[in-house]
Structure 1
Amino acid sequence: MITVAAEPVAAPELLALLGRTPLARIAAPLPHAHPGFWAKLEGLGAGGMKARAAVAMLLGARERGELRPGAPVVESTSGTLGLGLAFAGQALGHPVVLVGDAELEASMRRLLRAHGVRLEIVDRPAPQGGWQAARLARLRELLAELPAAYWPDQYNNPDNTAGYASMAAEIAEALDHLDVLVCSVGTGGHSAGIAGRLRRRWPGLYVIGVDSVGSTIFGQPARPRLMRGLGSSIHPRNVRYEAFDEVHWVGPDEAVDACRRLARSSFVSGGWSTGAAALVAAWAARTRPGAVVATVFPDGPHRYLGTVYDDDYCLAHGISTGGDTATDATTAQATAAAGARLPADRPVEIPSPTAVEATGWTRCRGVVDPLMPSLPAPVRPPKEDGP
């Protein structure tokens, strides 16, 4: 039987720290030169980007009577929402119990516990649905043990989406015009929360979704994923498929390369989601001359010092780690010797999300809800055909 801490004292003054993050101009070559794009630096906000969603979900539940004063909050997380819930729990006076998995970084575990979170770890992925399904199975056990607990269900809770209204307002206030919005997609919350609102301000807004290879969100088959923070092994219903004009799948090679280029040239950087979103935003700025492009950097680099920014980790996973261009001869030799592949410098285009299995940076201009019937299975390409 699990126990949680006594009812914490609420600290509503923390809510004044929510949001109002900087909007930075990014001109780092990713990997080629581009005119520049705007990036909302959510990693500099208290509790991170998902603190916006966490506060909205808990306040919504309290207003509906689903979350009683001082009752525990239980949720599954790969880390980022966990920090947001830790922030919201302290601000609103709720103990927080989180279910993570064995791939959750040791530094993130320590940080969550330092913020007063009770952390449960599952040690093996589920046969169907991977780590997410395993975490959700443990979460349901905890709900049975804690009958007063509230589960926000970030994947399907519309308050998740509503929490990002403030971000949309901040972007709209900072920019005179916006042509292209690039959003990484995990639970679907922040993309749905800002795309619709910004499109009402600028009706011609073009929206690009960024997913991880191995993610099922946009119709690809579920595979083990090295990248965390974007992508999913389940189908979150917060994803608004109709909002996207196209989707890109990005692999770890490209995300690491982008993160490191950002760190070298723009100082601001982040993890897998940030690298993937930056890569696609730079591509959009480069291929749409004169367009105003914006994206969101969901977090900062500190959580990823042992992964994205660790040469030994990257080489152990076959990821290239150096060089200023994807064609640098020295880098190519080191990459080949380590068994890694060079990151792609442009996406491969496929006609539909199910046409070919994406193994690296891939683009599709047809976006569909994969739970709609009669979608063909993607063709898995031969290994030598990967970008």
Structure 2
Amino acid sequence: MPPTSPAGAATPGAAPRPPSANPVLGHVARAMADYPVTPVRTIRTEIAGIPRTLTLKLEGCSPWHSIKGRTALSLIRSVAGELSVPGATVVESTSGNLGLALSAICRDLGLRFVAVVDHRQSPVIQQAIEANGGELDWVKTPDDATTHLQDRLTRVRELQRDLPHAVWPNQYENDANWRIHESWTAPEFDAQADGAAQALFAGVSTGGTLAGLSRHFRRTRPGVRIVAVDVQGSTVFGGVPRPRVLTGIGAGRRSAFLDDTSVDEVLRVDERQAVACCHTLRHDTGIAVGGSSGAVLAGCLEYLYRHPEVRHVLCLCPDLGEHYGPTVYHPAWLDRLGLPAEPGRLRHRTGAACPGFEPADAPSTPAPATPSEEDAPR
């Protein structure tokens, strides 16, 4: 089915709509109308002696370089009335990509933006947020703590109390998060996907992306299994929290958007397998993805190994690898994770039955530059 136009965007061939009286709504509508369709790439691999096809939707090929661009536009639209007050300040907790998108949107709207962050955030994203005029407000959570998100949320509430006209879009509980993916991201992916696909894989953090995808695909393709991919130590679906290093996937609390009907299966992958998948994919196809996308691929490979009947799957990849040169793709960072830097030695982490990926129609994606040893986060 053709993708539906996101709310606020012009329908091709229709008469142009008059500009919105609210400048925030008008800006969001124009940004949505100009937003490109993000590409899909097909790769092939052999698992348990069976050829498999993976269709990856590369959301990093978009404004602000991640799927969080769509989320940010929807969140800003949902609080447009509050942002019309002179001196309004947008405040949000973020592990990285949402903060980058919000900082760019707020810059264009002339709004102040404060991103509440912790030390796990990519230095590249930190610099980009500040280059957009955003402010970083750090929480000092210890490295081995499991309370990064809770500490960030506590700080957001303090800022909301103390800053005049502070507006918190609240990506964790605002239904604008998942609705944009049901009405926009999912129909777009559906239109690009092969009708033979048997399963859909997406990572979870707030759960908004997966909730939107699930609602759409449950209606349009009820035979497609919806598989949530999380990382060990996350409590999005409950369980005991433990320290984690990857950003953009996992959380220290349950998702407000997902319930038992949202998914058919939940896979929790080892973060080291996720990182190894990033390197294996880059080595074999030239496509460099971020850590959350690596986790999605790791979960997908594990699932395919256990399900020989599944031959074609869809994977939502939230971003590319360009922001992760100092972390996921840095030898010193890999060493602290107990992983070798050589792709050949990393490969076994992706699953013993998977010999690698073969690009079917995938032009190479530039690999992230590897900074010096001194630039790697400690």
Q: TM-score range by the shorter chain?
A: 0.7 to 0.9
TM-score normalised by length of structure 2: 0.78
Alpha-carbon offset, residue 54 of structure 1? 1.1
On the 8 A contact 1:212/1:251 being kept in 2, the answer is: yes
Letter in 2 for 1:214: G
Aligned equivalent of 2:152, options 124, 131, 135: 135
1:183 aligns with 2:202: yes
1: CA distance between counterparts of 2:188 and 2:312? 16
Change (3 A) 1:289 1:31: closer
Corresponding residue for residue 252 of structure 1: 271
Alpha-carbon offset, residue 316 of structure 1? 2.0
Stretch of structure 1 that moved more, 154-163 or 233-242 = 233-242
1:113 aligns with 2:130: yes
Letter in 1 for 2:241: A
On the 8 A contact 1:19/1:166 being kept in 2, the answer is: no
Indicate the SS of the match to 1:181: strand
Indicate the SS of the match to 1:156: coil
Alpha-carbon offset, residue 34 of structure 1? 4.3
The C-alpha deviation readout for 1:237-275, integer Å capped at 9, x for no partner, is 123342111111111220111000111112222121110
The C-alpha deviation readout for 1:90-129, integer Å capped at 9, x for no partner, is 4555321110112223222111101121111112259985
Letter in 1 for 2:71: A
Change (3 A) 1:236 1:125: farther
Indicate the SS of the match to 1:25: strand
Letter in 1 for 2:251: S
Indicate the SS of the match to 2:63: coil
On the 8 A contact 1:270/1:301 being kept in 2, the answer is: yes
Indicate the SS of the match to 2:138: strand
Q: List gaps (5 residues or longer) in structure 1.
A: 1-6, 329-341, 348-387
Aligned equivalent of 1:315, options 316, 332, 335: 335
Pairing of 1:360-375 with structure 2 (within 5 A): none
Aligned equivalent of 1:163, options 180, 190, 205: 180
Change (3 A) 1:325 1:123: closer
Corresponding residue for residue 79 of structure 2: 61
1: CA distance between counterparts of 2:223 and 2:341? 38
Indicate the SS of the match to 1:210: strand
1: CA distance between counterparts of 2:339 and 2:48? 16
1: CA distance between counterparts of 2:330 and 2:167? 37
1: CA distance between counterparts of 2:72 and 2:127? 20
Aligned equivalent of 1:38, options 42, 55, 69: 55
2: CA distance between counterparts of 1:294 and 1:316? 32
Q: List gaps (5 residues or longer) in structure 2.
A: 1-22, 355-378
Alpha-carbon offset, residue 68 of structure 1? 2.8
Corresponding residue for residue 382 of structure 1: none
Change (3 A) 1:31 1:20: farther
Stretch of structure 1 that moved more, 96-105 or 86-95 = 86-95
Corresponding residue for residue 174 of structure 1: 192
Indicate the SS of the match to 2:41: strand
On the 8 A contact 1:30/1:278 being kept in 2, the answer is: no
Change (3 A) 1:117 1:241: farther
On the 8 A contact 2:229/2:269 being kept in 1, the answer is: yes
Change (3 A) 1:326 1:43: closer
On the 8 A contact 2:42/2:53 being kept in 1, the answer is: yes
On the 8 A contact 2:91/2:114 being kept in 1, the answer is: yes
Corresponding residue for residue 230 of structure 2: 211
Pairing of 1:206-285 with structure 2 (within 5 A): 206-285=225-304
Alpha-carbon offset, residue 30 of structure 1? 8.3
Change (3 A) 1:67 1:278: same
Corresponding residue for residue 323 of structure 2: 303
On the 8 A contact 1:101/1:135 being kept in 2, the answer is: yes
Stretch of structure 1 that moved more, 219-228 or 121-130 = 121-130
Aligned equivalent of 2:211, options 165, 186, 192: 192
Corresponding residue for residue 338 of structure 1: none
Change (3 A) 1:319 1:32: farther
Higher relative contact order (CA 8 A, sep 6+): 2
Indicate the SS of the match to 1:39: strand
Corresponding residue for residue 352 of structure 1: none
| Count of residues in correspondence between the two structures | 326
Alpha-carbon offset, residue 87 of structure 1? 3.3
Change (3 A) 1:34 1:115: farther
Indicate the SS of the match to 1:242: coil
2: CA distance between counterparts of 1:276 and 1:124? 24
The C-alpha deviation readout for 1:63-97, integer Å capped at 9, x for no partner, is xx344356221000010111221233245553211
1: CA distance between counterparts of 2:206 and 2:49? 30
Change (3 A) 1:327 1:238: closer
The C-alpha deviation readout for 1:148-188, integer Å capped at 9, x for no partner, is 12111111111000121211111121124232110100000
Indicate the SS of the match to 1:133: helix
